């Protein structure tokens, strides 16, 4: 039986994914997040309905200390036999922050910390725990691409410069709008997903042990993502007219159930085993491989971002995954 760890799997698209993993794929699930009561309730319900095992793991992905503690907890489950295998990691948790610029416990801009930095560290700490043939699914967003309506609607995207993004609004760095902070954090997710794929391939040219897949749910205004946004925006985006309008202007449309099911497939369906280094996006009700933004394929930017991020998360030598250290890795 496969076990899939998902962050933010107790709400929204993540919850639809969890239901699909349990009902269709009969996978055990680990719900990782910072809302223990909600997670426990979902864990009980999913276990009772589908009979699979559902564990909860305390994780605030915006706090590097919490990410390290969660990874330690998971490793202890592996050592004491509570967890037999870990087969996929879905980095789904994500957030937008409106109002004054918030900062993480480590002092980094919170959108960047939650959507990108925490995932970078979590993936590093769990990469060697994944079974051979395992997968990392990075939940991105069409807003990362300024040449599409998804990106234009949100006001474009900033430079994927980790030092600048971590310090937005302080230390002499300019303030950036909430939505632009969001789209730029998702561009970083895309650059990370592709760079991880390249590094895994270089480290194991013969057989790719882990797939790194970028996944876009599509625009779904019903979830909690816009909960902190202005009221008029929430009302408008969830209205029939609002939904019709975004579709007509060419925004990539998702659906909680369909996108959740596609997210589950990205993590577990043998049909997606060859999707490493690819971007899955909804098209006519199905998720298919698609081109992402021009910048997302920029290898020099991806490498610079990776190096900057290693410094920001203060990655220790023993935290570097063995899987990235094989022959040919840089």
Q: What whole-number distance in Å separates Cα of residue 119 and Cα of residue 7?
A: 9
What torsion, rounded to 10 degrees, do the Cα atoms 271, 7, 87, 66 define? 150
Interaction between residue 230 and ligand NAP (CB under 6 A): no
* Angle between helical axes of 12-23 and 256-268 (0-180°, round to 10): 60
Interaction between residue 306 and ligand NAP (CB under 6 A): no
Judged by beta carbon, residue 3 or residue 119, the one nearer ligand NAP is: 119
Of 2, 3, 141, 308, the one binding ligand NAP (CB under 6 A) is 141
Write b or e for each residue in 170-179: b if 16 or more Cβ atoms lie within 10 A of its Cβ, otherwise e: eeebeebebb
Q: Out of 103, 116, 182, 219, pick the active-site residue.
A: 182
Instruction: Give the up-direction half-sphere exposure of residue 114: CA atoms within 13 A in the CB hemisphere.
Output: 20
Interaction between residue 179 and ligand NAP (CB under 6 A): no
Q: What whole-number distance in Å separates Cα of residue 268 and Cα of residue 2?
A: 8
Reference 261, options 22, 8, 51, 4; nearest CA is 22
CB of 300 to ligand NAP, least distance (A): 26
Interaction between residue 94 and ligand NAP (CB under 6 A): yes
Active site annotation includes 103: no
Of 139, 176, 193, 246, the one binding ligand NAP (CB under 6 A) is 139
Size of the site for ligand NAP (CB under 6 A): 28
Interaction between residue 54 and ligand NAP (CB under 6 A): no
Interaction between residue 61 and ligand NAP (CB under 6 A): yes
Interaction between residue 134 and ligand NAP (CB under 6 A): no
DSSP summary character for residue 157: -
Of 13, 121, 125, 302, the one binding ligand NAP (CB under 6 A) is 13
Rounded alpha-carbon distances, angstroms, from residue 222 to 93, 150, 173, 197:
16, 17, 33, 32
Interaction between residue 282 and ligand NAP (CB under 6 A): no
Of 22, 25, 27, 33, the one binding ligand NAP (CB under 6 A) is 33
Interaction between residue 60 and ligand NAP (CB under 6 A): yes
Mode of pairing for the β-strands spanning 286-290 and 279-283: antiparallel
The Cβ of residue 99 has, within 10 Å, a number of other Cβ atoms equal to 9
Of 23, 24, 35, 173, the one binding ligand NAP (CB under 6 A) is 35
Interaction between residue 28 and ligand NAP (CB under 6 A): no
Interaction between residue 11 and ligand NAP (CB under 6 A): yes
Using alpha carbons only, give the angle 8, 13, 15 rounded to the nearest 5 degrees.
Answer: 60
Determine the 3-state secondary structure of 91 from DSSP: strand
Using alpha carbons only, give the angle 226, 286, 291 rounded to the nearest 5 degrees.
Answer: 80
Interaction between residue 8 and ligand NAP (CB under 6 A): yes
Interaction between residue 92 and ligand NAP (CB under 6 A): yes
Using alpha carbons only, give the angle 203, 212, 197 rounded to the nearest 5 degrees.
Answer: 35
CB of 31 to ligand NAP, least distance (A): 9
Of 2, 3, 7, 204, the one binding ligand NAP (CB under 6 A) is 7
Tokens 């490793």, located at residue: 75
Active site residues: 182
Contact footprint for ligand NAP (CB under 6 A)? 7-8, 10-14, 33-35, 38, 59-62, 92-95, 114, 139, 141, 217, 219-220, 223-225
């Amino acid at each position: 039986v496969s076990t899939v760890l998902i962050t933010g799997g107790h709400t929204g698209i993540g919850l639809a994914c969890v239901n699909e993993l349990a009902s269709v794929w009969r996978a055990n699930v680990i719900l990782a997040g910072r809302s223990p009561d909600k997670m426990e309730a979902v864990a009980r319900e999913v276990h009772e309905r589908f009979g699979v095992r559902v564990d909860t793991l305390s994780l605030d992905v915006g706090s590097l200390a919490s990410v390290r503690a969660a990874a330690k907890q998971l490793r202890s489950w592996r050592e004491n036999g509570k967890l037999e295998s870990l087969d996929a990691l879905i980095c789904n948790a994500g957030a937008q922050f409106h109002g004054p610029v918030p900062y993480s416990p480590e002092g980094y801009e919170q959108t960047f910390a939650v959507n990108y930095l925490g995932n970078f560290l979590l993936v590093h700490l769990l990469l060697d725990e994944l079974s051979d043939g395992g997968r990392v699914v990075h939940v991105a967003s069409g807003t990362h691409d300024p040449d599409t309506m998804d990106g234009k609607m949100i006001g474009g995207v900033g430079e994927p410069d980790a030092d600048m993004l971590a310090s937005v609004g302080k230390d002499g760095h300019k303030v950036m709008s909430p939505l632009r902070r969001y789209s730029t954090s998702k561009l970083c997710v895309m650059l990370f997903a592709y760079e991880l794929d390249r590094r895994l391939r270089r480290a194991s040219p013969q057989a790719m042990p882990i797939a790194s897949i970028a996944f876009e749910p599509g625009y779904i205004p019903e979830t909690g993502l816009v909960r902190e946004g202005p009221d008029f925006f929430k009302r408008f985006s969830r209205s029939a007219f609002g939904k019709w309008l975004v579709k007509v202007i060419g925004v990539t449309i998702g659906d909680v159930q369909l996108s959740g099911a596609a997210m589950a497939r990205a993590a577990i369906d043998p049909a997606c085993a060859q999707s490493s280094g690819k971007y899955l996006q909804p098209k006519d009700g199905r998720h298919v491989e698609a081109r992402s933004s021009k910048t997302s394929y920029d290898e020099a930017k991806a490498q610079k971002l990776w190096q900057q991020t290693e410094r920001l998360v203060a990655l220790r030598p023993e935290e570097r995954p063995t899987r990235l250290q094989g022959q040919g890795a840089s």
